[in-house]
Structure 1
Amino acid sequence: MQYAHSMTLLTLQQLATALLIHIGRRMGYTKAKGVDMTTAKKLLPVSLFYNANVAFALASLKGVNIPMYIAIKRLTPLAVLIAGFFSGKGKPTTQVALSVLLTAAGCIIAAIGDFSFDLFGYSLALISVFFQTMYLVLVEKSGAEDGLSSVEIMFYNSFLSLPFLLFLILITGEFPNSLSLLIAKSYSFTFLVILTLSLVMGIVLNFTMFLCTIVNSALTTTIVGVLKGVGSTTLGFVVLGGVQVHTLNVTGLVINTAGGVWYSYAKYHQKKNKPPKVISDVEAHRK
C-alpha cells in the first residue's frame, strides 16, 4: 500500500538473495558451489517459470481480491497431481487423490460465490497456477536427479532471474521512478523496517518452499500452501477489506481447507505404514 512498484521489490529480493548466498559461501557458512554454466542452463526453465508465475500472479491481483486469489492458487495441487501422473510418478493413493479433488472443488464453490468475479483477473491467476506447477515439478526433479540443495537452486533462481526482472521493470516503466520513490521513502524508519521484513520473509519463504519440494514433493509443497492460505485468507477478509462475503464463498474456502487437512492426514499415514527401505550390499558399503 505504501509502495506500489511490486516488480522492483521482487528484483531487490532476488538481488539480496544472490548476494546473501554468495557472501555466505565466501565466508564458509554454506557449502553451495559457485556458478556453473551447465547447471545454470539446466535451471534456466525453473527461473523462467518462477518469474512468469510471479508476474501473472501480481497482474491478476488487480482484478481478483486476496481471498479469492488464494483460493484460485489452491488449484495448484490438482495441477501438480496431474503433471506428476503424466511425468511417470505413478498413480497416487485414493485418499491423496480425493483430498486434492476436494481442495479443487472448494476453490470452484468459492469462485461461484465471488460477486466481484473478474474473468481477466481469474484467467491471469489460472495461468499463474500453470507456471507455478511447472517450476515446482522442475525443482523437485533438480533436487532428485541433479543432487542440488535448496540453497543452490535458490541461488541459481535468483541469479538467473535478475536479467529478466531488470528487463521487466524497464519495459513496464517502473524504473527509474520506482528507484527515486524508494530513496525518498527510505527516510521513513517505519518504511525501512517494513521493507527489510518483506525482503527477509520473501527469502525465507523461497528457501522453505524449495527445501520442502526437494525433501518431500512438489505436491506436498502446494498442499502445505493450502493450509498456509487459511491465515492469508482470514487476513485478506479482515485487514484489507473491500470483499463481499457470501455463504458459498465461505463454504468453498472451508471445503478447500478441509481438503488440505485430509491430504496431510493421508500422507502421514502413508509414510507411517511404508515398509522400511532395504539397503543393498553396495549401498551399505558406500555408507
Structure 2
Amino acid sequence: MEIRADAETGPYSSLVAAVSYGIASMAMVFINKAVLMQYAHSMTLLTLQQLATALLIHFGRRMGYTRAKGVDIATAKQLLPVSIFYNANVAFALASLKGVNIPMYIAIKRLTPLAVLVAWCFLGKGRPTTQVTLSVILIAAGVLIAALGDFSFDLLGYSMAFISVFFQTMYLVLVEKSGAENGLSSVEIMFYNSFLSLPFLMFLIIATGEFPNSLSILFAKSYSVSFLAILILSLVMGIVLNYTMFLCTVVNSALTTTIVGVLKGVGSTTLGFVLLDGVQVHALNVSGLVINTAGGVWYSYAKYQQKMSKTVKLVTDVEAHRT
C-alpha cells in the first residue's frame, strides 16, 4: 500500500512507521549477517536487493497496485545524492559486518544521532540541549570502552562501520529534506533510490572484482535450500526495510529514525551475544555496551522531552492568542 507524503500524518501513522522501521531494521542486521557468513560478496548482495526493489515497484505500478509515478529526470537529479549516500552507507555497513560482531556493530551505529546533530548544527538548525549532548557523549564513551574489550577487534571492520555512520547521516538528512520539499511518497523515494543505485552498484561490483565470480558462487550455493531461503528472505526484508525507513523519515524526521535505531539496538545487542557468531564476552566489552545502551536510551528520552515541551509551548501560545 502506498501513502503519499502529505497523507502520511494520521494520528497513528507516526507510531506505526517508527515501530515498523525498528522491527525491520533489527531483523535485517541478523539476516544480513547470516547471509554474509555463507556468502561474502556484500556488494553483489546489495545489488540484488536493489534490483528486487526496483522490479517490484515497477511491476506494481504497471499492474495498478501502486500510484507511484514514472521516472522524472528533474526529480531523479535531485534524489541522486540520496541514492549515492544510501548505497555507500549500506555497502560499508555490509562490509563491516564481515569483520565486526553484531553487538559492536550496533554500538558503533548508535553514533549516528551524534553525526545527525552535528550536521544539523552546520545546517543552522540550532545547538542540542545539555541532556542530548551528555547522552551522546555517553554513547561515544561506551563505544570506546567496548572496543577496548573486544577480543575480535577488526580495524578494517571498525573503519567500515564508522564510514557507514557518516553516509547514513547524510542520506537521512537528505531524505527528510527531499520528502518535505518535493511531496514524494515513501514508495516513490524508494523506487528512485533503487533505480539510481543500479548503475552505480554494477560499476562497483565490476571494479572490485566481485563480478562475475560472485554470480557463479551464488548459483552454486542456490542448490542449498537453507541458503536459498535466507537469501530470498534477505531480498524481501531489504524491500521492507527500505520502505519503512523512508516512511519513518518522511512521516517523522531524520532524527526520529535515528532514535528508533538506537532503541531497537537494545534488543539486537542482547540477541547478538547468543546468535550467529558466538561473541566472546569480556567485562570491559560488556561494560562499554551497557554504557552505550544507557546513553542511547537517555538520548531518546531527552529528545522525547524536548519534543513534548515544544508541543506544550505551541498549545499554550495558541490558547493565549484565543483569549
Q: Paired residue for 2:58?
A: 22
Q: Decide whether the 8 Å contact of 1:224 with 1:260 is kept in 2.
A: no
1:231 paired residue number: 267
TM-score, normalised with respect to structure 2: 0.79
Q: 1:187 to 1:118 in 2, by over 3 A?
A: closer
Amino acid at match of 1:79: A
Which amino acid in 2 is paired with 1:162?
Answer: L
Matched, 1:106 2:129: no
Task: Give the secondary structure class of the aligned counterpart of 2:274.
Answer: helix
Letter in 1 for 2:191: F
Distance 1:228 1:21, change over 3 A: same
**With structure 1 as the length reference, what TM-score do the two structures score?**
0.88
CA positional deviation for 1:62: 4.2
Name the structure 2 match of 1:147.
183
1:3–1:168 distance in 2 versus 1, CA, 3 Å: same
The answer as to whether partners of 2:113 and 2:259 remain within 8 angstroms in 1 is yes
Asked if the contact 2:110/2:296 (under 8 Å) is kept, the reply is: no
Matched position secondary structure for 2:275? helix
Greater displacement, 198-207 / 220-229: 220-229
**In the alignment, what sits opposite 2:118?**
82
Q: Does structure 1 conserve the Cα–Cα contact (< 8 Å) formed by 2:49 and 2:238? A: yes
Residue 69 of structure 2: aligned partner: 33
CA distance in 2, matches of 1:5, 1:126: 20
Q: Which consecutive unaligned segments of at least 5 residues does structure 1 have? A: 279-287
1:7 & 1:268 partners in 2: Cα distance?
37
Q: Corresponding residue for 1:281?
A: none
Q: CA deviation at 1:111?
A: 1.8
Measure the CA separation in 2 of the matches of 1:13 and 1:116.
29
Among 147, 156, 162, the alignment partner of 2:192 is 156
3-state DSSP class of the match of 1:239? Answer: coil
- CA positional deviation for 1:242: 5.2
| Counterpart-to-counterpart distance in 2, 1:256 and 1:82 | 19
The 3-state SS of whatever aligns with 1:253 is: helix
The AA in structure 1 aligned to 2:45 is: L
Aligned residue number for residue 7 of structure 1: 43
CA contact (8 A) 1:102 1:259 kept: yes
Paired with 2:265 and 2:107, the residues of 1 have a C-alpha distance of 8
Once the two structures are superposed, what CA deviation does each residue of 1:117-158 show, in whole Å capped at 9, x if it has no partner?
333332232122111111111111111122222211111110
The AA in structure 1 aligned to 2:268 is S
TM-aligned CA deviation for residue 261 of structure 1: 2.1
Query: 1:202 aligned to 2:266?
Result: no
Q: Paired residue for 2:154, among 109, 118, 130?
A: 118
Give unpaired runs (5+ residues) of structure 2: 1-36, 319-323
Equivalent in the alignment of 2:321: none
Q: Is the 8 A contact 1:106 1:253 kept in 2?
A: yes
Calculate percent identity across the aligned residue pairs: 85
Moved more, 261-270 or 76-85: 261-270
Pairing of 1:130-145 with structure 2 (within 5 A): 130-145=166-181
The secondary structure found in structure 2 opposite 1:238 is coil
Partner of 2:211: 175
User: Which residue is equivalent to 2:290?
Assistant: 254
Q: What is the match of residue 184 of structure 1?
A: 220
Please report the RMSD computed on the Cα atoms of aligned residues, expressed in angstroms.
2.1
Q: Sort the Cα spacing of 1:63 and 1:188 in 2 relative to 1 into closer, same or farther, 3 A.
A: closer
Match of 2:105 among 64, 69, 75: 69
The answer (yes or no) to whether the contact 2:132–2:303 under 8 Å persists in 1 is yes
